[in-house]
Amino acid sequence: MCGVFAESERGMIRERVNAGLARAKAKDVSLGRRKVKASIEARIRELRTKGMGILKIGRTIGVGTSVAQRVLITQA
């Protein structure tokens, strides 16, 4: 019996999420992570080619380590 309630609740959640995504798309809202400026990307790549580690690059530029990793991964 609990399975039936859980399944119907999951269906309602899915409907609400899809409705919210459709509203955001209609309003032309940008979803996802913010874009990294080209100048910051270039600086990250420059520091990495000089042998600096990802953690130190993030601290030097003032971005998170995940941003530095993401830029370097998309480079490969």
32-63 confidence digits (pLDDT tens): 888 889 999 999 999 999 999 999 999 999 99
pTM of the model: 0.62
User: For position 3, what pLDDT does the model report?
Assistant: 86
User: For position 32, what pLDDT does the model report?
Assistant: 85
Nearest to 47 by CA among 66, 68, 64: 68
User: For position 76, what pLDDT does the model report?
Assistant: 58
How high is the mean pLDDT of the chain?
Answer: 92
User: For position 53, what pLDDT does the model report?
Assistant: 93
Domain 33-76, what fold?
A: Arc Repressor Mutant, subunit A (1.10.10)
Q: Which residue has the higher pLDDT, 31 or 17?
A: 17
C-alpha distances out from residue 16 to 2, 12, 64, Å: 21, 6, 32
C-alpha distances out from residue 53 to 18, 33, 38, 62, Å: 41, 23, 20, 14
